[in-house]
Structure 1
């Protein structure tokens, strides 16, 4: 049940001005049902007499009647069908009588007027009109607030009787079932399938690419061009670097896909740094750049010369003297013709204007070599037109008075067929007529500063016209191709005054800006049917493989709920990790840990999974033990307990839910390798501790493995195990630090036990060789770190900044590079470090921030403010916690 309001669907009113009778069907329909510009298939009026209104049921359905091959009825709620107070309104609808018996996919386009009138005086009524595409999901349409009930029962101004008199009234419906030649009239396009309905698919709207989709569809439907593009060798090309390959891929997907096709690869292949670059070119420039890039790759191949054969014609610019036998002329090739719109009624007049002759006389005489100043005729004449003729209509031009570019929205008509013979010079080849058929209309709707682009194309000689509107392709009528894209105001008599008011603003700004004509004698060659063998085998093979990969990924996504991811930390990954915890699990952070990862069915048993892990790392099953890592309250990730071995029914999901954290998407594990499975297991009361070595000389911090120690032993006892593992001289003095969490690295007391120090399974202890005061002082003077606490602070604040040269700056000797800095440092330090790397004066460097996602330059950093690195990288923190890009430029 749909609610229509007064503004959107015609006024709901008590008639007071003109006393048109409801029973005068033709006059009533003419007054209240505006001409919508569509052919009427059938027109019927049905009236339903009702009495005892106040005793009527809450919902009534009227008798069925037929119109346009469909059964209809009135659906009435005498006391309203809304949240309004009871007895406040009347609701009335036109209802499709039996949608369940209608064939699958049925629809009916109807314009209708619903009327409640006085049974004795049919000039007293309340009426509202609407139009709708009736479908199974929307089989009734009308007005929930058709009228206030009290108004229907009371006498209104200008009348002597109420609409409902003595509790009696007539409820009528006027129905026009309209022809729908395209099958999409008033379609809501929910679940619309372009491929099924038209055989074609659209192109995704990628943002500012505007006119590109329209031109690509036009070129795709020019099948000779598509075949020529396919003949370009691209086996070794990369799609984002090769325009021919990117275009081949777009064309192949348009041929084979059931879904709209993306163009990102193609836009990248142009080398234009941003989509804004497309706004700086018009469709003519874009087409020229595209064809130039294709022609370069076509040289020396079967496709060489195809573009010139298809799109290139010749014209002669001349100056011919009137009184002496002298002419100066120049022959030029053209790929398209730019025609004036302003002041021109139609395309024929635009061509006449293009070849119009200018007389050079008086003070404007022509200096003819050998003859002096002479009266002359100056003009352009065509020698030949190409098989496919691109006509650019000059809808955009410079307005000198306003000192700005403006759009010309004047009416400019173009025909389905045009004979260009009279615009050719006398010596032109006329063995075939120069008659051209309209093949495509590229349309812009909007003004100079924005709008929408779409294309209307007739793919074959006999097929219907199609509208390519980004990701949707629909059939259209001849009127939608021609009249609706001439621009300006509709001609008198073509639409009703009511309709003219409704569409005036749209008509004013929607018009053709490019026309594509095909020479009639060349249509069969230019639009020849496309064959399977016209597609290059390597392209088909390559894209079919990609499609299978995408299908596999889609299936993987669909089945993702059945799986979880298990990440395994090993002693080797720990040894290569420089940072907090045992590994870096935040994939946004830098540097990331490359952890062995397994995709595991949730219902897979632990024993099966353990066998896979053992096989992957080439260990016997009885030589490994897996520990579950958990997120502690202090936001660290540490091993908590090892997985029990003797529970055959234990599944991976149960382990994740019971031993880890249910909210985690993955299962994090530590692989504990048992040196000798035949020796006794871990002694009771032992704890597993991970060790990290802070090397003051190398300024590094890496894992060196794990040890098992009794809980009651002293912290200082670790020194013996560490010296032995590091192969240091026995008795080498050490300092031990507990890695509690980022920002909390505490020196340990060697005389306390591990229990007293609150050390448990999975804790991390960092050690360094103890230094004297002079050694510490020397490191401090070099700006180096003398203890793990300082180094951990650096790790917590470090950020990798990538510096790239300004794009327009030829900076081949110093390309993109990166430096690791601390967020606690500032602009001056950063500038000095970059200057040192580039061997350039840091005062003569300037830095610009970039957008976190697209990399475009944003804001120049001010040296005078000397911001901290933390402030500089702040925009990146959410997406990349310790990683960012800056643009640099140098000055001499």
Structure 2
């Protein structure tokens, strides 16, 4: 069947859900995704289906409850009877009917909208030019195609959509197959759907209330400020957690500051770049998800610290801080130990509690201390039964509740998110959780005003917030840069977590695991409550008068500057940059060329920069330059700068025609990557009587022709040997026929030294023989000649003072070390070619950075290792023989390896070693760490550096390893372990062995005990790949045979996941393991519950993966069978997260 391609189809629609799509443009070869749901007609009991004419029963069947549960405004049913289907045009509208106060109609493509199925849509009935501005209507609708002769035969599809002026129609491109429609009986019936070319299309419309104004919104061109009066915060990468916290602080009106001022006054989303920079965060930090609860605490702590000693010192504590009492109270005697502390937030357990009230009850529950766990109540009462717990003495006006949604799962060995259902009320009474006798003159009822939500799991997720900025206003959803109104269902029910429930109350289950319900991924993790009696104070309106004037004016200035920069960027294509060298900038330049067009730091030698319109004429530009130079524009001539093959940039030819535009000159002269026009502004040295400049070359004739004579433009530089400086002198013109030596008088004149040098002084010109002719020397316009002067008598200092007009102090400062001194310009040019700026920092672990601050040196990369250390030593005021340099790892910034002294080494070869392939890429080429030594480097080479860990008593809960100090010791390479112990005693300032007990040294590998080292063991044989530990031998192990000890190590879950510091432990014959555990408790230093959490197992090397967990009645002496057995302490590795995490959150 052919279609009329001239018929216009509806506007292209955006897909709303997988069940229905908008209408694609007929001109497109590839229409939008078209989906025909299979489950719309999947009915188990066909006999129970209502007839298409039973509209009420049909509504119950085909209009399911909506997940958002909006209020129904009106239900309307309309049927369009079609008497001749195949007589319809390609596109046809049904009659207009009304629902919700608006006109509607059915849009039909009887032969399909570019598909082989009929296409049916719902469309508003407004005329194209009569649709109200900003009109929208939220509708759930179903379209039913039925046989008018047999109403039991029908098919239907259902959808919901937000109809707008832009999205006028919505429906189903693949409604029903045309090949089955006319001649094939429908399903189990005996008739087709379209019998005798007749059919009915019934539209069921349910108009629902758009309470928030964003129901089913696409958020295209959405304006948060216009719709809600609030703006969001831009997400820099992964800073949604920061945004949600900041927004929660913003609505606490009494707390607003700089960022929050912008949130109040800006019309668009506000950036947080300045804030994160003030934290000291780099780019990598803004792409790392962090714990918002930790951020909240650290932000409060830092602000409180900054406010100390200011009038605002009490603002934060009064608003956010409460008090809690920790106590142990004896039951049978009058004795209590307690302390009262401030708190800024309360961390409540989610696991095991159904709601907020249960969590508070769990928080203040009393622990009984009786039996073996009795409390020692001092010498008077001894051991007593006691109650241990916490109780609140006061709550703050703004109460932050942190819900512990993330907990460590020991089975999975990782942090896991708890998605259990956890309910929190819109208001609650906190009085039951206060201490008896607390001030209850005002009610302690709290109103919910903030819900911070995490959606996702531990590794990937998103943060947003629901906040109520006004006492009796709406809740708003703050999702980064978007702000929308929210219903109480969105605030509460949808953030309780737990299992997904369908609108009909049934659980949503995973398709492959019908029994397992799907858990909500979005749940509240932080709640903000405000005391009802303080709402007016906390949420008081903030007016412009409340904002400090200096803050307001500063931000307005910054806003104006940003707008100006934005405008500048938008108009960038209209402008071009011009970089201009003048005689003054040339004289200040100490390099070999005329200037540096792209300096890292601008100074007096930096070319002048102009941003001018591309349409500006060269005459106008010359006038602007002349005004800056305070010269007559007629006396200024601009030369175009070009790149030469020797990588220099020199003037090529003057611009004599001033009529062309700057853009035209730039296009003709562009031979470099610089996007700016480069010029040299020449000032005329001779003028005519009428004030017009007389130019030595390229003088225009009366006929307008520019004639170039044989004069060459040369630039002069002078190298002063005494001050070791190179500077520009000026420029001269010389004929090609003249000898180079004839430049000397010109140089003397430019230097202001008169016409002739004294007999005891001489001047040297480099690169050219003095007798050479300029043309033979191939000189051309823009070449630079360098001269240097030398005194043959002992008056260099006087000459320096006389010629350069320097005082005594300046002469002394400009004089350099003898080892760096160059004697002529050629050597200095070589130095400039090889010079390198090198940074030096104190070694982070081997040198005191406070005593030796970082510094930079400009060095010749050809200097030797000895000269390098001399220069560094002079800076540090240290002996060069007592210095050691370290290269720097380019990735980590940590010391890489010590620099070894070599006879043929240079600075270049040290920083850029050859012959090591890709290893060089890991080393910085501009920096060293230095280490100041107490002994010479030569003596250091005779010693071995040994890293050893000195173990003190006890085991820390955080690190799960014996308390330790890490030390670096120097021991003679021919020394023994006895020498190492003596060095340890001296370095760690320990008491002698005779007084405090023998010290033993042992090696460990992969967190397991390897061997104890004998006193006469040579240190040169120590393995660099094992860990070395030293400790005092416990009293019960002194003079005990090693066969009576067992090696102990820590592991988590499986023995191959070892951690912590291993140690030796004494076995006692006949001792029950219950008593053995007491000795282990003392040996490790862990007490009470911390030790009780440890499971202890015997692990045989032959069955290493199968730990045998010990019972109190076991006898370790009998079970342990030799050196192959280990005692394993199975507990959580608290250092794992620190080793594998992204790093601690910090605020600078």
TM-score range with shorter-chain normalisation? 0.7 to 0.9
After superposition, what is the alpha-carbon deviation per residue over 1:817-842, rounded to whole angstroms, capped at 9, x for unaligned?
A: 33446789999998997677555766
Distance 1:542 1:506, change over 3 A: farther
Task: State the SS of the aligned residue for 1:363.
Answer: helix
Distance 1:510 1:828 in 2: 65
**Counterpart in the other structure of 2:588:** 576
Q: Which of residues 739, 761, 766 in structure 1 aligns to 2:781?
A: 761
After superposition, what is the alpha-carbon deviation per residue over 1:112-170, rounded to whole angstroms, capped at 9, x for unaligned?
A: 44455555555555554443333333333344455664455674894455555555544
1:688 aligns with 2:718: no
Distance 1:362 1:6, change over 3 A: closer
1:385 aligns with 2:395: yes
Q: Which of residues 266, 274, 297 in structure 1 aligns to 2:275?
A: 266
Task: State the SS of the aligned residue for 2:890.
Answer: strand
Distance 1:138 1:828 in 2: 79
**Counterpart in the other structure of 2:733:** 708
Cα pair 2:835 2:858 within 8 Å, conserved: yes
Distance 1:148 1:870 in 2: 74
Cα pair 2:397 2:534 within 8 Å, conserved: yes
Task: State the SS of the aligned residue for 2:520.
Answer: helix
1:520 aligns with 2:532: yes
Distance 1:655 1:675 in 2: 25
After superposition, what is the alpha-carbon deviation per residue over 1:178-211, rounded to whole angstroms, capped at 9, x for unaligned?
A: 3221111232323222222222222222334453
Q: What is the Cα deviation at residue 46 of structure 1?
A: 4.0
Distance 1:151 1:767 in 2: 100
Distance 1:151 1:716 in 2: 106
Distance 1:33 1:496, change over 3 A: farther
Q: Which moved more, 1:416-425 or 1:300-309?
A: 300-309
Q: Which of residues 609, 624, 630 in structure 2 aligns to 1:612?
A: 624
1:530 aligns with 2:542: yes
Instruction: Show structure 2 runs of 5+ residues with no match.
Output: 1-11, 21-34, 698-707, 792-817, 919-923, 934-1148
1:849 aligns with 2:861: no
**Counterpart in the other structure of 1:812:** 850
Q: What is the Cα deviation at residue 43 of structure 1?
A: 3.4
Q: Which of residues 96, 104, 110 in structure 1 aligns to 2:139?
A: 110
1:425-824 → structure 2 map (5 Å cutoff): 425-490=435-500, 508-579=520-591, 581-586=593-598, 594-631=606-643, 637-644=649-656, 650-657=660-667, 665-678=675-688, 680-683=694-697, 684-685=708-709, 686-692=711-717, 702-711=727-736, 721-722=746-747, 725=750, 737=767, 754=775, 760-764=780-784, 800-804=837-841, 811-820=849-858
Task: State the SS of the aligned residue for 1:508.
Answer: coil
Q: Which of residues 220, 224, 235 in structure 2 aligns to 1:190?
A: 220
**Counterpart in the other structure of 2:90:** 58
Q: Which moved more, 1:40-49 or 1:147-156?
A: 147-156
Q: What is the Cα deviation at residue 514 of structure 1?
A: 1.1
Distance 2:213 2:159 in 1: 19
Cα pair 1:823 1:869 within 8 Å, conserved: no
Distance 2:540 2:243 in 1: 22
**Counterpart in the other structure of 2:1100:** none
After superposition, what is the alpha-carbon deviation per residue over 1:782-810, rounded to whole angstroms, capped at 9, x for unaligned?
A: 79989988876775675544455578985
Q: Which moved more, 1:48-57 or 1:543-552?
A: 48-57
After superposition, what is the alpha-carbon deviation per residue over 1:847-873, rounded to whole angstroms, capped at 9, x for unaligned?
A: 1225xxxxx74895797999875699x
Task: State the SS of the aligned residue for 1:180.
Answer: coil
1:291 aligns with 2:323: no
Distance 2:540 2:143 in 1: 52
Distance 1:170 1:794 in 2: 95
1:36 aligns with 2:61: no
Task: State the SS of the aligned residue for 2:276.
Answer: helix
Q: Which of residues 10, 13, 16 in structure 2 aligns to 1:2?
A: 13
Q: Which moved more, 1:94-103 or 1:301-310?
A: 94-103
Distance 1:810 1:278 in 2: 33
Distance 1:270 1:126 in 2: 61
**Counterpart in the other structure of 1:879:** none
Q: What is the Cα deviation at residue 812 of structure 1?
A: 2.3
Q: What is the Cα deviation at residue 342 of structure 1?
A: 0.6
Q: What is the Cα deviation at residue 221 of structure 1?
A: 1.1
Distance 1:412 1:575, change over 3 A: same
**Counterpart in the other structure of 2:1132:** none
Distance 1:301 1:844, change over 3 A: closer
Distance 1:786 1:93 in 2: 92
Cα pair 2:112 2:173 within 8 Å, conserved: yes
Task: State the SS of the aligned residue for 1:38.
Answer: coil
Q: Which of residues 121, 124, 133 in structure 2 aligns to 1:93?
A: 121
Cα pair 1:342 1:408 within 8 Å, conserved: yes
**Counterpart in the other structure of 2:1021:** none
Task: State the SS of the aligned residue for 1:216.
Answer: helix
Aligned length: 834
Cα pair 2:578 2:611 within 8 Å, conserved: yes
Distance 1:867 1:632 in 2: 30
Task: State the SS of the aligned residue for 1:211.
Answer: helix
Distance 2:450 2:336 in 1: 38
Distance 2:869 2:191 in 1: 89
Cα pair 1:37 1:495 within 8 Å, conserved: no
Task: State the SS of the aligned residue for 2:628.
Answer: helix
Distance 1:558 1:157, change over 3 A: same
Cα pair 1:827 1:863 within 8 Å, conserved: no
**Counterpart in the other structure of 1:180:** 210
Cα pair 2:331 2:385 within 8 Å, conserved: yes
Q: What is the Cα deviation at residue 695 of structure 1?
A: 6.8
Distance 2:765 2:607 in 1: 30
Distance 1:94 1:821, change over 3 A: farther
Distance 1:653 1:268, change over 3 A: closer
After superposition, what is the alpha-carbon deviation per residue over 1:708-741, rounded to whole angstroms, capped at 9, x for unaligned?
A: 234565667656755765668599786655xxxx
Q: What is the Cα deviation at residue 347 of structure 1?
A: 0.4
Distance 1:200 1:887, change over 3 A: farther
1:105-504 → structure 2 map (5 Å cutoff): 105-118=134-147, 120-121=149-150, 127-144=156-173, 149-150=178-179, 152=181, 155=184, 158-159=187-188, 160-164=190-194, 168-226=198-256, 248-271=257-280, 276=285, 282-369=291-378, 370-490=380-500
Distance 1:632 1:278, change over 3 A: closer
C-alpha RMSD of the superposition: 4.5
After superposition, what is the alpha-carbon deviation per residue over 1:328-387, rounded to whole angstroms, capped at 9, x for unaligned?
A: 433333222111111111001111111222333333333444344443333322222221
Q: Which moved more, 1:835-844 or 1:860-869?
A: 860-869
**Counterpart in the other structure of 1:243:** none
Distance 1:797 1:148 in 2: 81
Distance 1:44 1:301 in 2: 66
Distance 2:358 2:136 in 1: 44
Distance 1:122 1:399, change over 3 A: same
Task: State the SS of the aligned residue for 1:295.
Answer: helix
Q: What is the Cα deviation at residue 657 of structure 1?
A: 4.3
Q: Which moved more, 1:259-268 or 1:756-765?
A: 756-765
Task: State the SS of the aligned residue for 2:274.
Answer: helix
Cα pair 1:564 1:666 within 8 Å, conserved: yes
- Bigger radius of gyration among the two: 2
